[in-house]
Amino acid sequence: MRRFNHFNASTMENAVSLLNESEGPAYVIAGGSDLMGCLKDNLWIEAPERVVNLKTIPGLKYILVEDGDLHLGALATLTEIAESDTVKLQWPGLAEAARRTASPLLRNMGTIAGNICQENRCWYFRYPDKIGGRIDCVRKGGKRCLAVPGDHRFHSIFGAVNKCIAVNPSDTAPALVVLDATVKTTKREIPIDEFFTAEMGAQSTVLDRDEIVTEIVVPAPQAGPNSAFRKIAYRKSIDFALVNCAAALVIRDGKVESARICLNAVYNNPRRCEASEELLKGRELTEELAQEAGRLAVAEAKPLLQNGFKVQMAKTIVSDTLMDCI
Partner 1 sequence: MNENRKQLIHLTVNGEVQSVAVESHWTLSRVLRNDCGHTGLKEACGEGACGACTVLIDGVAVPSCMVLAVEQEGKSIETVEGLSKNGVLHPIQEAWLEEYGAQCGFCSPGMIMSTKALLAKNPDPTEDEIKEALGGNICICNNYEHIINAVRSAAKKMREKA
Partner 2 sequence: MAELTAIGKSVRQKDGRARVTGEAKYYADFILPGMLQIRILRSPLPAATILSMDTAEAEAYPGVHLVMTHLNFPKAFRKELYYVGDLVAAVVADDETIAEEAMHLIKVEYEKKKPILNMDDAMKDGARQVFDGVDNIQDWPFHAFLSDKDPETGLYKTKTPSDYNGFGDIEKGFAEADYIIEQNHLKYAYCKSPAMEPRGCSADFDGNRLQVYTHSQGMHDEKLCLAQALGIPSSMVNYNAPYTGSSFGGKNAFPLDPNIASHYLVVAGFACLELRKPVHCPYSREEEMVSGWSRGSDTYVKIGFKKDGTLTTMDMIHRQETGAGGDKYPAKNAMLATGAVLYSHNCRHLRGKIQNVNTNRYPAAGWQGYGAPEGMFAVETTMDMAAYELGIDPVELRKMNCMRAGDIDAGWDPLSYISAIISSSGIRDCLDAGAEALDWKNTWRHPSEKTGRIRHGMGVAIFAMGAGRPGPGNSSEAMVKIYPDGSAALVCAVADIGQGQHTVQCQIVAEVLGLPYKKVGMVCHDTDSTPFATLVSNSCGTWIQGWATYEAALDAKQRLLKLAAAHMGVKAEELDMNEKGIFMTAAPDKGCTFAEAFGTRGHYGGLHEVTGYYVNNSPHPHGIHNGKPDEIYIPKEKGAQFISLDVDTETGMILNARVTMAQNVGKALNPKIVAGQLCTSRHGVDNAMLGNECVADKRNGWLMTANWVDYRHCTAMDCDVDPIVIEKPGDPTHPFGATACGEGAACPTLAAFSNAIYNAIGVRIIETPYTPERILRGLGKIEDKRRKK
Residues that bind partner 1 (CB under 8 A): 1-6, 8, 29, 32-33, 36-37, 39-40, 51, 53, 55-56, 102-106, 108-109, 236-238
**How many amino acids of this chain bind partner 2 (CB under 8 A)?**
43
Among candidates 35, 7, 1, which has minimal Cα distance to 106? 35
Out of 21, 68, 130, 281, the residue judged to bind partner 2 by CB under 8 A: 130
Provide the minimum distance between the beta carbon of 146 and partner 1 in the complex, in angstroms, as a whole number.
22
The SS3 of residue 69 is strand
The DSSP-derived string for 111-180 is: BHHHHHHPPP--TTTT--GGGS-----GGGT-SS-STTTS--TTS-SS--BTTB------SHHHHHHHTT
**Could you tell which of partner 2, partner 1, none binds residue 288, using a CB distance below 5 to 8 A set by kind?**
none
Burial of 146 (C-beta count, 10 Å sphere; 0-12/13-18/19+) = buried
Nearer to partner 1, 105 or 305 (CB): 105
**Could you tell which of partner 1, partner 2, none binds residue 180, using a CB distance below 5 to 8 A set by kind?**
none
Q: Which residues partner with 249 through β-bridges?
A: 259
Residue 132 in contact with partner 2, rule: CB under 8 A: yes
Among candidates 232, 196, 227, 229, which has minimal Cα distance to 311? 232
Out of 59, 236, 254, 288, the residue judged to bind partner 2 by CB under 8 A: 236
Q: Which residues contact 129 (CB under 8 A, 6 or more apart)?
A: 41, 42, 43
Residue 45 in contact with partner 2, rule: CB under 8 A: no
Q: Which residues contact 40 (CB under 8 A, 6 or more apart)?
A: 1, 128
Nearer to partner 2, 130 or 281 (CB): 130
Nearer to partner 1, 165 or 265 (CB): 265
Provide the minimum distance between the beta carbon of 187 and partner 2 in the complex, in angstroms, as a whole number.
32
Q: How many CB atoms lie within 10 A of CB 77?
A: 23
Nearer to partner 1, 42 or 306 (CB): 42
Out of 23, 66, 85, 131, the residue judged to bind partner 2 by CB under 8 A: 131
Asked if 166 contacts 155 with a C-beta cutoff of 8 angstroms, the reply is yes
Q: What is the binding site for partner 2 (CB under 8 A)?
A: 1-3, 41, 103, 121, 123-124, 127-128, 130-133, 135, 146, 149-151, 153, 232, 234-240, 242, 301-309, 311-313, 316-317
